[in-house]
Structure 1
Amino acid sequence: MKGKLFRYALLLMVIVGITLAVIYRDLFDAAALEQWVDEAGAAGPVLFMLVYALGTVFFLPGSVLTLAGGAIFGPVLGTFYNLTGATLGATLAFLIARYLAAGWVERKTGGRLKQLKEGVEGEGWRFVAFVRLVPLFPFNLLNYALGLTRIKLSHYIIASYLCMLPGAIAYTYLGYAGREAVAGGEGLIQKIMLALALLAVVGFLPGLIGRLRRGPMMTVESLKQRLDDHADILVLDVRSTDEFIGEQGHITNAVNIPLEELASRLDELSDRLEHPIAIVCRTDRRSAKAALLLAKKGFADVHVVKGGMTDWNRKAYPVE
C-alpha cells in the first residue's frame, strides 16, 4: 500500500512539475540563473547542476541552461557542469520512468511496439549512444522513454555522458562566445568562428553516424540466398508505384515505399528498427539515398542491393 502511495505521489510531483515548468518557462532566463549562482557563492556550481538536473526532469529548455553554463563558467568548467547536470537529470528521469511504469509497460506491450522495444533493448548502449549523438527525439522525452526499456542503468549513464559531450562542448562554447561578444572581450572574431565551427561539427554528426551505421552493399546473389533460407530480412523497394508493378516486376513480398515518400512513412517500418533491411531500386543511386535516410533515423542494419532490380532480372531470378 505504501509503495502505491509513493508511486502516486511521485507521479503527481512529476506532472505538477512539468506543468509549472511549461506555464512559467518564459520567466526562466539566463540572467535569473546567473544571479542565483552568484548569490550561492562557492556552492554556485552545485546549485547550477541541480537546477540543470531538475530542469531536465521537468522539461525546461536545455538550450537555455547549456548556453547559460557557458556564459557563467566559461568553456571548460561550463562543459563539465552542463554535461554533469544533464546526465544527472537524464538519469533521474530514466529511473522515475522505470520505477513508475516499466513493469506495466512490460506486461502490456505487444505487437509491433513490443518488437521495437526488444530491438532497442537488444542494441542497448549502442542505441543510447546513437540517439545522444544524433538527436532524433526530444531529449527530455527520450530520457523517460528509455526508462521503460530494460537497458542497463550503467550502460545508459556512461553512453549518455560520453556521447552528449560533442554537443555539450559546442553549445557551451557558443554561450561563452555570446557572453564575450556582449562584454567586448579580446579575440572576439576568432571565438565566434570557433563556436560556429563546433556547431558545424555537431551538425555533421548525423550524416557521419548514418554512414557508419549503414551496412555493406549486398549482391543480388546474397539477397536471393537469404530469401531462399527464409532469413529475417525485409526487401524495401523504393521505386515509384508504376515501376514497382512495371516491366521489371518486383521481388516477392517486397514492400514498396517510393523514395520521395520514405521520410513521411517511416512509421510503417518501425518494427524493423533493429532488423535487416535490403533496399532495392532500378540501380544503386536512389537506394543509397534511402539507406542513408534510414541509417540517420536509427535503423541499425540497412543494406543497398548492388545493381538493384536490373541485376536481379539479369540473373533471371523470379519476380512478380
Structure 2
Amino acid sequence: MHLMSAAVPLPDPLSVTVRAPAKINLYLGVGRVRPDGFHPLETLFQAVSLYDDVTVTSADEWSVSTVAEGPQVDLSGVPDDEDNIAIRAGKALVAHHGVDRAAAIEIAKGIPVAGGMAGGSADAAATMVALDRLWNLETSDDDLLAIAATLGSDVPFALVGGTAHGTGRGEVVTPVEDNGTWWWVVVFDEVGLSTASVYAAFDLGEYAVDDIAIDPARFQILRRGEAGATMAVLVRNDLEDAAFDLRQDLERKAEAILQCGASAVLLSGSGPTLLGAATDAVDARDIAARLAERGFDRVTVVNGPVAGAHVVEYE
C-alpha cells in the first residue's frame, strides 16, 4: 500500500502540508447495534476531489487553527483546542514513538463540517502523515493504520484513499479495484447532522436488516468502471431513512436532484450532504446548473476515486 515513501531519509523540513480527501460511501450496510454500542458495517468507501489541507510546523506546545475554504464550511462547531481530532492524532503519533514533541496545526478546510464526508477524519490522517514527514519518524503503514483506527472509524480510509471495502466499524479497510472515474454533484446543506443522532434514529426506527453484505455485482461494476445508469444499482445507504426521519427536507432535496437529471441520488454517510450521480463531467455540470436554477446555492462537482492523504508541499 505504501502510505509513506520508503526513499532515502530527507532533512527535516520547517513545515509540511498534506492534502486529504473527503469520502463518500457508495454502499453503506448497517447491522443491529452491538453490545459495545457500535454497529457492524459493510461499506464501499470512495475518496473524492474535495479536500482539507493541513500544514504543520514544530512548536513548544500543541495548537490548531482552522480557516474555511468555501461557503459549504461552517466552522462554528470546530474546536480550536485539544478536543480537535487533529491534535489528538498528533499526540497519538508521538505517543506511539515515545517522543516529546508538539506542533502548530493549520487546517484549510474545504470539506463541510458534520456533512457526512469525514472531514475530521481527513484532518486526523493528514496530520499524522504531515508530522511523520516533518519529524522523519518513518512510521510503517501498518502502524499508521493501527493508530488511525483508534481515532475514528473513517480515519484509516482517509490514509488509504481510492476506493476500498470497509468492515468492522468501517476501520478495517481493503483497497478494491476501481477502473472508473465517477462524477458526483454534491449538494451541501446549511445545517449539519450529527452522526450520533442519525444512528439513534436508525435504532429507534428499527431499520437494521440481517443481510448487510456487499453483493459481488457491485465489485464487478467498479472493476468494469461502469458509470451512468448502473449507479442506481451500485449505491445503497441504510442510514438514509433515519436521516430523512430527522430531516424531511432532505428527502425533498433528493427528489429535486433526480428531477434535475441525476441517475441516482445518495446520502453521504450519515448526511446531510447529498450526492447526485452523473455520467461524466459535462453531465455533472449540467445537473449542477439545473439545481442552481432551482435555488440550490451550495453545489459543487467532484470526481473519484482520488488518492488518500499525501504530501503536497514542504519547505
Q: Which has the higher strand share?
A: 2
TM-score range, shorter chain: under 0.3
**Whose RCO is larger (CA < 8 A, sep 6+)?**
2
TM-score (norm 2): 0.23
Q: Which has the higher helix share?
A: 1
TM-score (norm 1): 0.23
Larger Rg: 1
